[in-house]
Amino acid sequence: MPVNDASGRILKWFGTNTDITEVKRTEESLRRSEEQLREAMDERQSLAEDLHDNIIQSIYATGLILEDCKSQIRKKSTDVSKRLELTIQNLNRVIKDVRQHIARATGEEMTGDQLCTKLMGFANHLEGVQGVRFSLDLETAAAKVLTSAQARQILYIVQEAVSNSLRHSQGQIGLILLQKVGKRVRVKIQDDGVGFIGEDAKKRGHGLQNMALRAQKLGGTFQVVSHPGRGTQVLVEFPQAAADDLNGH
């Protein structure tokens, strides 16, 4: 502040000088901590979704086979041994899936071709489960334009949709479709089951919500079309990745 003489002329100034360097350091440290917390929360949510849509669904399918074995034992069926062997194979597959989730945390990639291989293995795995029999229509052109992140999201969406169908549809025939439509990729999972109305969606737990969130992560749309007695169709569409994204640039 200024000090003036009788005529108003400034003789000198008094003031304080505050070093704000430490304050800025504290603010920057706080900002980094907030970012790390957000990243940790996002990773936790992603892990919860992956466990639900992949590991839990695999265990559920194995449980269906064991339920069928119990029924066959009552009937003294000779097919029980084969089904138990299939169950062991399925449990080994779950162990492999858990290892893949661990590998995913270290950045392991998944190509579109690998996605198709996994979907074919998933469909074969379901051969021993009572319920819908799913056929595959996987377009090579669509698989080629997928990034690793997109391939993973598609895998989990398909597993969740198929699991819902096995539990609720009472259908016989289903389809898993992957195709390229212009500059967009389409994923469709459908069955010929009993269908459902909007109010029944709540009975399906977090599955529909998780699929919708995954479609959102793809930058795409998520739609469920179902009518009583006319089956159910899950449809996801999203834009194909740019060439630089495919090349990892």
Task: Spell out the domain ranges in the chain.
Answer: 21-246
Three-class SS state of 249: coil
CA distances from 162 to 28, 38, 243 (A): 47, 32, 31
Helices marked H in 51-79: 57-74
Residue 222 reports pLDDT greater than 70: yes
* Length, in residues, of the chain: 249
Question: What's the pLDDT score for residue 154?
Answer: 95
Task: Kindly state the greatest CA–CA separation across the chain.
Answer: 116
- pLDDT tens sequence across 182-207: 999 999 999 999 998 765 655 555 67
Q: How, if at all, do strands 221-226 and 184-191 pair? A: unpaired
Residue 109 gets the label, from left (phi > 0), alpha (psi -120 to 50) or beta, of beta
Question: How far apart are the C-alpha atoms of 73 and 78, rounded to whole Å?
Answer: 8
Residue 122 reports pLDDT greater than 80: yes
Residue 249 reports pLDDT greater than 50: no
109: pLDDT confidence band, cut at 50, 70 and 90? confident
Strand partners, 223: 235
Q: How, if at all, do strands 221-226 and 133-138 pair? A: unpaired
Angle in degrees, CA 111, 155, 63, rounded to 5:
135
Q: Taking a C-beta distance cutoff of 8 angstroms, is the pair 128, 65 a contact?
A: yes
CB neighbourhood size of 61 (10 A): 24
- pLDDT tens sequence across 134-165: 999 999 999 999 999 899 899 989 988 988 88
Q: Taking a C-beta distance cutoff of 8 angstroms, is the pair 139, 170 a contact?
A: no
**Mean pLDDT across 60-65:** 71
Give Cβ neighbours of residue 225 (< 8 Å, ≥ 6 apart).
Answer: 232, 233, 235
245: pLDDT confidence band, cut at 50, 70 and 90? low
Q: Taking a C-beta distance cutoff of 8 angstroms, is the pair 122, 158 a contact?
A: yes
Question: How far apart are the C-alpha atoms of 64 and 124, rounded to whole Å?
Answer: 15
Question: What's the pLDDT score for residue 25?
Answer: 66
Question: What's the pLDDT score for residue 239?
Answer: 94
- Fold designation for 21-246: Heat Shock Protein 90 (3.30.565)
Residue 31 reports pLDDT greater than 90: no
Q: Which position has the higher pLDDT, 78 or 87?
A: 87
Three-class SS state of 134: strand
232: pLDDT confidence band, cut at 50, 70 and 90? very high
Q: How, if at all, do strands 2-4 and 10-13 pair? A: antiparallel
DSSP H or E run through 110: none
